[in-house]
A and B are shown apart, each in its own frame.
Chain A
Amino acid sequence: MGYTIEKATEIADNIFEFWINAPHVTKNAQAGQFVVIRINDLGERIPLTISETDGSLVRIVFMAVGKTTTYLSTLKAGDEIRDIAGPLGHPSEMGSFGNCVVIGGGVGIACLPILARALKAAGNNVTGIIGARNESLLLLKDELATHCDELVVCTDDGSFGFHGFPADILKKKLGDGEKIDCVWIIGPGIMMKITSMATIPYKVRTYVSLNPIMVDGTGMCGSCRVTVGGETKFACVDGPEFDAHLVDWDELMARQRTYTDQERESLKLFRDHQCSCGGDHHE
């Protein structure tokens, strides 16, 4: 009893795209929502943004970083994961805003196609700006291009597209007097923090999708609490999207590091085990 991985592909360096058969999730899933998955009986529950849906299939995209994502990356089409729960969290605020900019950094880019598609369907003009450290880490750019009126691609090292950060592009657009009504930024904490600062002087409505540590994802444990506008909010049920200008970024990033040591230990054990057993399944 589990949920079958229908397709498993490495779409960028160490970044994986899985399509999982989960009709209970896709039935009501919308842009901005997430799932919580658990690989097996020993596994932890981890939240992952819903990247796209297609019929009964839900797409998740992840980078193999810790034990759970590294283990997940070793699974193949036809394998099962034990649990997938969702959709969770509020859908992205949707409406006819005018000129929208969706910005993705790293794996966060994966969250943009479903969002851009929904914004487009709601009658908006959509600009995409995506950035990664280098070309090998860029993902889904062709797919995203089909949902955007304009797509700008950046790399930190200049190996592809604009040499620099999405924040630079955003600043330039705003500085040039381009009319921007609404911005979404999804990526690592530090990237969201810095990029969202660009819109403060122009008072542009700016949303970010926060990814704190979570356990149940239903408001029960309070693990994912974040300070927004001086108030404690639970990212799982009050978010995951919040007004970027009100987020206490330093606290968020510090809390994300709570288990750094344990994560390192867990990953090392997994790697050692993989070596000794030839990289076979770890159950």
Chain B
Amino acid sequence: MSKRSGDERIADFKEVNEGISEQNAVLEALRCMDCVRPQCTKGCPVNIDIPAFIRAIAEEDFKGAAAIIKKDNMLPAICGRVCPQENQCEGLCVLGNKEKPVRIGALERFVADRERKAGTTLPEIMPPTGKRVAVVGSGPAGITAAAELARYGHSVTVFESLHEAGGVLTYGIPEFRLPKEIVKAEIQQILDMGVELKLNHIAGRTVSVEELLEFDAVFLGTGAGLPSFMGIEGENFNGVYSANEFLTRVNLMHANAFPEYDTPVMKGSRVAVVGGGNVAMDSARVSRRMGAEVYLIYRRREEDLPARDEEVRNAVEEGVEFLCCANPVKILGGPVVTGIECVRMEMCKPDESGRPCPVPLKGDDAVFTLDVDVVIEAIGQSPNPLLVSLIEGLERGRRGNVVVDGSGLTSVDRIYAGGDIATGAATVIEAMGTARKAAQSINEMLMKE
């Protein structure tokens, strides 16, 4: 897939990847061996019939290809952009053993983009069942569950607390990785299927738990939007952000375009981003685009970075400086950030998660400071407790997540959950997979009655 150069990219927020041409899509599709026992589908959390849609592309039936994908995934333009395909479908492609795997992600994106431009067709919807389902949250999980339930003919109402739908797709993932226009278009399709969307509605407050329980079933897709902080000194100084706050200010509220937009954000000249996941990469790359020198501080080694390789590469190309095996111990300044003190780490034996465990080096040499004026902590999130803490009898796990059985059912009758609220922070497509399963279970439950 062609990519704009790093220098060009950091001058704006436009998309980094430019997609593939029709001609290249067909050529790529023709590489597919159409295996008797395709492995790629096993790697897809929503089980898209990958060989079938690739075959359709090879036959230049692009509309047909889109229809095949949409049977299982209503957000193909999003997934084609943000799925970690290298670990999923493409990771299992047998061609990958000898040469490069078929670029399934790029093909999915191509099909979705082409259809969006040519005019979309909605999937078939079953006759109305008269059953009403409440979906809480309009992120990847909520939207997927809503689409699936609408398809079965149920009447679906989605409650979203923000003024725009999309959850993390809207407030979290930057424009240069996932243009908002695409998120809007894919969500619009779901509304066109008859799903009702109520913005500015906070479930648990605007809509009480009792009111939610008046629906025939409830799906909780409230995500993992509770930011973690390191708990170090100076963390509440002005200029210390959670990645959620920083990204929300820029992605949702357009603070990068202040004062044209009213929401401000501190534009650091030197920014430290703490963490090594995709959210850390996003924060670092947004900061670069806002003109800062950026250090990414990660406590393990470079090869341990949990972010997608492609995102790490993008960050490097865009001039983000990586400081691996380093851990912040103190934020300097007060009340405004002036620096960050870190300690160098070394790697020991793997911990119970199988990853090598970092330990701080001893001695004065091990400590170093960086002069920075903004610190962004991207060290993870836990399930948002606002609603789930209000539901009586709802069993929750050690990390605050909602406990569900194999069908997505919680400990409360008729309440199902999927996405990060059930699994803890995961990828968009994993959230969609669990949501889809829960929606199918809800359908079975409702149709049995």
A-to-B contact residues, CB < 8 Å: 24-25, 27-28, 33, 38, 42-45, 67-68, 82-88, 215-223, 225, 227, 232, 237, 251, 254-255, 257-259, 262-263, 265-266, 269
User: Could you tell me if A262 and B249 are in contact, using CB atoms closer than 8 angstroms?
Assistant: no
Residues of B within 8 A of A217 (CB): 161
Which residue of chain A has its CB nearest to the CB of B242?
Answer: A222
State in angstroms the CA–CA spacing of A66 and B361 once bound together: 48
Stretch at the interface among B27-35, B73-81, B199-207, B286-294: B199-207
B225 at the A interface (CB under 8 A): yes
Q: Once the chains are docked, how many angstroms separate the CA of A212 from the CA of B75?
A: 37
Closest chain A residue to B226, Cβ basis: A219
Write 30 A-B pairs (CB below 8 A) sorted by A numbering. Answer: A25-B206, A42-B261, A85-B161, A85-B162, A85-B202, A86-B202, A86-B205, A87-B202, A87-B205, A215-B248, A216-B161, A216-B162, A216-B171, A217-B161, A218-B161, A218-B162, A219-B226, A219-B386, A220-B248, A221-B244, A225-B236, A251-B335, A257-B238, A257-B335, A258-B238, A258-B239, A258-B266, A259-B266, A263-B264, A266-B262
Contacting B262 at CB < 8 Å: which of A25, A67, A223, A225? A67
B253, CB-defined interface residue at 8 Å: yes
Q: Are B202 and A88 in contact (CB under 8 A)?
A: yes
CA gap between A28 and B209 in the complex, in Å: 11
Q: Contact residue range for chain B?
A: 35 or more
Instruction: Check: B13 CB closer than 8 A to any chain A CB.
Output: no
7 closest cross-chain pairs (CB), A and B = A254-B335, A262-B264, A220-B225, A221-B245, A85-B200, A44-B263, A222-B242
Give bound CA distance, A223 to B253, whole Å.
Answer: 14
**Complex contact B227–A220 (CB within 8 A):** yes
Bound-complex Cα distance A84 to B245 (A): 20
How far apart are B379's CB and chain A's nearest CB, in angstroms?
Answer: 12
- At the interface, yes or no: B384 with Cβ under 8 Å from chain A? yes
- Contact in complex: A45, B385 (CB < 8 Å): no
Residue of B227, B236, B241, B249 with highest tally of chain A CB at under 10 A: B236
Q: At the interface, is chain B mostly helix, strand, loop or mixed? A: loop
Q: Which residue in chain B gives the minimum CB-CB distance to A218?
A: B161
Q: Does B229 belong to the interface (CB within 8 Å)? A: yes
Residues of B within 8 A of A225 (CB): 229, 236
Measured in the bound complex, the distance between the Cα atoms of B225 and A144 in whole Å is 39
Give every chain B residue within 8 A of A68 (Cβ-Cβ). 262
Assess whether B238 is in contact with A262, with CB atoms less than 8 Å apart: no
Residues of B within 8 A of A (CB): 161-163, 171, 198-202, 205-208, 225-227, 229, 231, 235-236, 238-239, 241-242, 244-245, 248-249, 253-254, 258-264, 266, 335, 384-386
> Which residue of the partner chain, among A33, A237, A265, contacts B259 with CB atoms under 8 Å?
A265
Cα–Cα, bound, A232→B225 (Å): 17
Besides A28-B208, A257-B335, A259-B266, 7 new A-B residue pairs in contact (Cβ under 8 A), listed by A number? A42-B261, A218-B202, A219-B385, A222-B227, A223-B245, A258-B266, A262-B264
B202 CB contacts on chain A under 8 angstroms: 85-88, 218
Chain A min CB distance to B421 (Å): 13
Partner of A215, one of B229, B249, B266, B386: B249
Q: Is the CB of A82 within 8 A of B206?
A: no
In the complex, the chain B residue whose C-beta lies closest to that of A251 is B236
User: A269 to B206, alpha carbons, bound, how many Å?
Assistant: 35
Determine which residue in A24, A86, A87, A222 has the highest number of CB atoms from chain B within 10 A of its CB, and name it: A222
Q: B254 — which chain A residues lie within 8 A by C-beta?
A: 42
A43 touches B262 (CB 8 A): yes
- Shortest beta-carbon distance from A224 to chain B in Å: 9
A44 touches B253 (CB 8 A): yes
Identity of the chain A residue whose Cβ is nearest the Cβ of B206 in the assembled complex: A24
Q: A221-B245, A221-B248, A222-B227 are in contact. Are A266 and B258 (CB under 8 A)?
A: yes
Inter-chain contacts of B266 with A (CB < 8 A): 258-259
- State how many angstroms separate the Cβ of B212 from the closest Cβ of chain A: 12
In the assembled complex, the CB of A247 is this many whole angstroms from the nearest CB of chain B, namely 13
Q: Which residues of B contact A67 (CB under 8 A)?
A: 262
Does B248 contact A216, Cβ atoms closer than 8 Å? yes
A51–B386 Cα distance when bound, in Å, is 23
Question: Which residues in A have their C-beta under 8 angstroms from that of B253?
Answer: 44-45, 215
Chain B residue at smallest Cβ distance from A261: B264
**Complex Cα spacing A104 to B242, Å:** 33
Q: Is the CB of A86 within 8 A of B227?
A: no
Q: Assess whether A83 is in contact with B248, with CB atoms less than 8 Å apart.
A: no
Q: Please, which residues of chain B bring their CB within 8 A of the CB of A28?
A: 205-208
Given the complex, which residues of B lie within 8 Å of A269, measured CB to CB?
259
Contact B258 A262 (CB under 8 A): yes
- A218, B264: Cβ atoms closer than 8 Å: no
With both chains docked as a complex, state the minimum distance between the C-beta of B425 and any C-beta of chain A, in angstroms: 13
Also in contact, A218 and B262, with CB within 8 A (given A28-B205, A85-B161): no
> Shortest CB–CB separation between residue B235 and chain A, in angstroms?
7
How far is A257 from B227 in the complex, measured between Cα atoms in Å? 22
Contact at B262–A237, with CB atoms within 8 Å?
no
CA A43 to CA B170, docked complex, whole Å: 17
B258 contact set on A, CB distance < 8 A = 262, 266
Q: Which residue of A lies closest to B239 (CB)?
A: A258
The answer on a CB contact under 8 Å between A87 and B263 is no
In the assembled complex, the Cα of A49 lies from the Cα of B385 at a distance in Å of 22
Determine whether the beta carbon of A83 is less than 8 Å from that of B163.
yes
Most buried by A among B199, B205, B236, B254: B205
A38 touches B163 (CB 8 A): yes
What is the CA–CA distance of A38 and B164 in the complex, to the nearest angstrom?
A: 12
* Cβ-neighbour of B225 out of A44, A83, A219, A257 (below 8 A): A219
Q: Which residue of B lies closest to A35 (CB)?
A: B200
B386 touches A237 (CB 8 A): yes
- Known: A43-B262, A85-B163. Contact between A227 and B249, CB under 8 A? no
- Cβ–Cβ < 8 Å partners of B248 in chain A: 215-216, 220-221
Which residues of chain B are near A27, meaning CB under 8 Å? 206
On whether the beta carbons of B226 and A220 are closer than 8 Å, the reply is yes
Interface pair B264/A266, CB less than 8 Å apart:
yes
